[in-house]
Structure 1
Amino acid sequence: MRITIIAGLLVLSAALTAFSVLAFDLFAPVRDEVQFVLVTGALWLLFGLAYWLLRRVRGKAVVALILAGSTLIGGAAMVGPPNTSTDSARYAWDGIVQNNGMSPYAFTPADDRLDSLRPDWLFPASQTTADGQEACVGERIASAHKTDSGDLLCSALNRTAVPTIYPPASEIFFAGVRFLTGPEPAYWPLQLAGLVLSVGTTVLLLVGMQRRGLDPRSAALWAWCPLVATEAITNSHVDMLGVIFVVAAAFLVSSKKVWRGGVMLGIAIGTKLIPVLAAPALLKRGGWRMITASILSFALLYLPYVLATGIGVLGYLPGYLSEEGYQDGSRFALVSLVAPGESAVIVAALILAVVALLVIVKTDQNQPWVGQLVMIGATLLVLSPRYPWYALLLLPFVALSGRWEWLLVPMALTLRLLVPSVQLTQTSIAISVIVIALVSLHRAGPGGLKRILPRSRRVRPA
């Protein structure tokens, strides 16, 4: 009966996922934020209830349910176009440009020289309005102007006036997907790739957990999570590519296969840089070998682009960091309350440096996922990005450690995206910090705090 109920909840989750993709998007001129939040909340509730029931299921049914749910919910997430982000349009364009022998670091999407490459679904023709003016029409379509001619350019991309921001592993991935499908298919190729990667991560987690004697039921914390369906598949964020390589790196290094683990980590960092947060927990065992392998693999990925573009491979990264408010401290939701302005950057850096030091010193190298969870989760809480898909990197370590309380982090970031209120963001992140701290202390048991903090040495009298 319990298995039947779980199966029913998974089917219901898939149906509600499909409904949310078709019924809601952040690009609609008029949108009901309350309904969007309620549907998203219902998805998280169904997810929590299904996982709670799974904890009492035994045997092969666990693996079957986890895989079926991962595939079913992920497939349902493909029923419509992206609804919270336009990033995948840029991914597609970067792939198209590369397959035509050009570097996305050297050319902006608005460059007149790329006119012959533009598919209609990414760059629709303008329409003439009643007053005879040319205008761009469509929910995801923005108005821009070409670099040289100044002509109106209708585009589904964001930031058409700047080169790409994405590192080389991501660019190779974009080119590979578009090489297989060509430029004409719209959003589904990257969504399908996201589904393959997400289910592949589920399989990787199940196999790795079985070999290490971990409870496989915790893999559902990744496989059924609404954030995976929404951001890895519907919106096709390339963070998903980094996730699977980071999980592989954690398994390899913890198994003393340091060189191979370092290569996997370097590729993961080459997708979006953020996976470097998984490194501190692996340093004790990985040491110089892991660092060397990571740097070499990262450098080899960049080499063809450096040869083609030179320093331009940095793309729009410096401008992006400034735009997001990380240089003046305005993006740090909680830290800015006690350290306003540029001082927030210093305070945030100090907090994360302390966390990194504790992670390096205290992490069990046979099971580094708790340290990786803390490092990544603490960074997300301190930086409080407005993009919940950054939390995809956190989820596999929630699964490996079984520490469900850290799911409050992606929930808080999702709420920030759907309801962009500073006060609400500060409240949700503060609640997350308090709950995570209390549950973590409870898990640690008596004397847990003393075991976490560095021991002080007693000074012997002379």
Structure 2
Amino acid sequence: MRLILISGLLVLSAALTAFSVSTLHLFAPERDEIPLVLGTSALWLLFGLAWWLLRRVNGRAVVALILAGSALIGGAAMVGPPNTSTDSARYAWDGIVQNNGISPYAFTPADARLDSLRPDWLFPAPQTTAAGTEVCIGERIARARTTDGDLLCSALNRTAVPTIYPPASEIFFAGVRFLTGPGPAYWPLQLAGLLLSLGTTVMLLVGMRRRGLDERNAALWAWCPLVATEAVTNSHVDMLGVIFVVAAVFLVSTRKVWRGGIMLGIAIGTKLIPVLAAPALLKRGGWRMVAASVLSFALLYVPYVLATGIGVLGYLPGYLSEEGYQDGSRFALVSLVAPGSSAIIVAGVILAVVAVLVILTTDQNRPWVGQLVMIGATLLVLSPRYPWYALLLLPFVALSGRWEWLLVPMALTLRLLVPNPELTRVSIAIAVIVIVAVSLRRAGPGVLKRMRHPFVFTQSSSA
């Protein structure tokens, strides 16, 4: 009966995922976020209930259910175009220009010299109204201007700036478009995201079995609504970084430091954020892991630096300013006690302390708890408005079994769907309170004493 119930919940989750993807989005001029919030909440509820039931299932059925659910929900996430982000349109364009021998860091999408490369699904032709005015038609289509001053209808965001993505991402974009050409719209990247998410599910299951971890917790990754929506529907390249980070963790924790360092360098070369996984690995990885990571990261940049020079920085500096990280306005909770630019200093101090504690106290045979804390704390402090950054957190939720950290992606998802500063602060504060309370309960008696003397307890546990 329990297997039937779980199977039914997974089918229902897949059906609701398909319905949400095909009918609910954030692109209408007068959008109503309530249906999307309700649909997303229902998906998280179904996910939680299915995982709770799975905890009472044993045997081979566990692996079969996890894999089947991952494939079913992920496949359902492909039934419609991206519904909360336009980033994958930029991914497609970057791949198209690279396959025509052009560096994505060298030209903006609005550059008139690239007119001949524009596919209609990314750059539909302007329509002329009865009054003779040119307009752009389509909910995902924005108005822009080419460098010649002509109207440019585009599915891309930020058409006036070069790309922001590091080289591993750009190689991935080029590879996908090399296989499909410029014609197909969103499904090639969605399929790539599905395959990467399934690959991560398999990697987690294998790694957890070899290390004696509870395989049932792999469902915390495989069935999570964030994976379906952000890795598949919206095809965020963060998914590529996730699979390389998971590989790095398993390699370094089994003393395959050089190979793990290479995997970590590639992950960082995807979107920089995976560097947060490094502190928990430093005691075992040491200089060899750092050297391998830096070398692989640098080698990825070589062809782009040769083609573009300093332009490989792309729009990264402008992006950080745009997102409010230079003046401190983006930090939801920190800005309450440290307004303005002082929030940057306070946030930096908090994260530095967390990093030191992670380095000192992490069990090198099981580093995922330290990585969970480092990544999760960073997301809570920086409070980005993009929930797909939390994809990096989810494998470590699964490996550690610490479900309470799922409140982080839930809070960030709410921030995206309902961009209200006060609601954001409340949701992130609730996440902090619950995580701290549950973590203290997990730690058991004497936790505060152990926290005051990390050196002593680290040495005794190692002995």
Provide the aligned length of Structure 1 versus Structure 2: 456
Matched to 2:371, the amino acid is Q
SS at match of 1:347: helix
The list of structure 1 runs, each at least 4 consecutive aligned residues, that deviate by more than 4 angstroms after superposition, is none
Taking structure 1 as the reference length, what is the TM-score of the superposition?
0.98
Matched to 1:112, the amino acid is A
| Structure 2 residue 380 is the aligned partner of structure 1 residue 376 | no
Task: State whether residues 166 and 272 of structure 1, in contact with CA within 8 Å, keep that contact through their aligned partners in structure 2.
Answer: yes
Unaligned runs of 5+ in 2: 457-463
1:32 CA displacement = 2.2
Post-superposition Cα deviations, 1:334-366, rounded to whole Å, max 9, x if no partner, equal 000000000000000000000000000000000
Residue in 2 aligned with 1:452? 451
| Identity over aligned pairs, percent | 85
- d(CA) in 1 for partners of 2:384, 2:270: 18
SS at match of 1:154: strand
1:139-154 map, 5 Å:
139-147=139-147, 149-154=148-153
1:316 CA displacement = 0.3
Task: State whether residues 73 and 224 of structure 1, in contact with CA within 8 Å, keep that contact through their aligned partners in structure 2.
Answer: yes
Residue in 2 aligned with 1:182? 181
- d(CA) in 1 for partners of 2:110, 2:175: 23
SS at match of 2:143: strand
| Structure 2 residue 8 is the aligned partner of structure 1 residue 8 | yes
- d(CA) in 2 for partners of 1:19, 1:455: 49
1:34-433 map, 5 Å:
34-147=34-147, 149-433=148-432
- d(CA) in 2 for partners of 1:181, 1:7: 34
1:455 CA displacement = 5.0
Matched to 2:365, the amino acid is N
Task: State whether residues 358 and 453 of structure 1, in contact with CA within 8 Å, keep that contact through their aligned partners in structure 2.
Answer: no
- d(CA) in 2 for partners of 1:152, 1:275: 38
Post-superposition Cα deviations, 1:113-172, rounded to whole Å, max 9, x if no partner, equal 10110000000000012321111111010111111x111111000000000000000000
- d(CA) in 2 for partners of 1:349, 1:129: 53
Matched to 2:80, the amino acid is G
SS at match of 1:330: coil
Cα RMSD for the two superposed structures: 0.8
SS at match of 1:260: helix
| Structure 2 residue 18 is the aligned partner of structure 1 residue 18 | yes
Pair 367,324 (structure 1): closer, same or farther in 2 beyond 3 Å: same
Task: State whether residues 360 and 455 of structure 2, in contact with CA within 8 Å, keep that contact through their aligned partners in structure 1.
Answer: no
Post-superposition Cα deviations, 1:200-247, rounded to whole Å, max 9, x if no partner, equal 000000000000000000000000000000000000000000000000
- d(CA) in 1 for partners of 2:293, 2:175: 22
Residue in 2 aligned with 1:443? 442
1:44 CA displacement = 0.2
- d(CA) in 1 for partners of 2:222, 2:98: 32
SS at match of 1:420: coil
Residue in 1 aligned with 2:459? none
- d(CA) in 2 for partners of 1:356, 1:91: 32
- d(CA) in 2 for partners of 1:34, 1:385: 21
Post-superposition Cα deviations, 1:388-411, rounded to whole Å, max 9, x if no partner, equal 000000000000000000000000
- d(CA) in 1 for partners of 2:12, 2:335: 40
Task: State whether residues 126 and 136 of structure 2, in contact with CA within 8 Å, keep that contact through their aligned partners in structure 1.
Answer: yes
Matched to 1:10, the amino acid is L
Unaligned runs of 5+ in 1: 458-462
- d(CA) in 2 for partners of 1:36, 1:104: 34
SS at match of 2:83: coil
- d(CA) in 1 for partners of 2:185, 2:385: 26
Task: State whether residues 362 and 452 of structure 1, in contact with CA within 8 Å, keep that contact through their aligned partners in structure 2.
Answer: no
Matched to 1:314, the amino acid is L
- d(CA) in 2 for partners of 1:427, 1:244: 32
- d(CA) in 1 for partners of 2:247, 2:449: 32
1:34 CA displacement = 1.4
Task: State whether residues 380 and 408 of structure 2, in contact with CA within 8 Å, keep that contact through their aligned partners in structure 1.
Answer: yes
Matched to 2:293, the amino acid is S
- d(CA) in 2 for partners of 1:404, 1:220: 11
Task: State whether residues 385 and 412 of structure 2, in contact with CA within 8 Å, keep that contact through their aligned partners in structure 1.
Answer: yes
- d(CA) in 2 for partners of 1:405, 1:450: 23
Taking structure 2 as the reference length, what is the TM-score of the superposition?
0.98
1:444 CA displacement = 0.1
Pair 456,275 (structure 1): closer, same or farther in 2 beyond 3 Å: closer
- d(CA) in 2 for partners of 1:455, 1:365: 15
Residue in 2 aligned with 1:460? none
- d(CA) in 1 for partners of 2:65, 2:201: 12
Task: State whether residues 24 and 31 of structure 1, in contact with CA within 8 Å, keep that contact through their aligned partners in structure 2.
Answer: no
1:456 CA displacement = 8.7
Post-superposition Cα deviations, 1:232-288, rounded to whole Å, max 9, x if no partner, equal 000000000000000000000000000000000000000000000000000000000
- d(CA) in 1 for partners of 2:453, 2:163: 43
SS at match of 1:287: helix
Residue in 2 aligned with 1:31? 31
- d(CA) in 2 for partners of 1:402, 1:340: 36
Task: State whether residues 145 and 151 of structure 1, in contact with CA within 8 Å, keep that contact through their aligned partners in structure 2.
Answer: yes
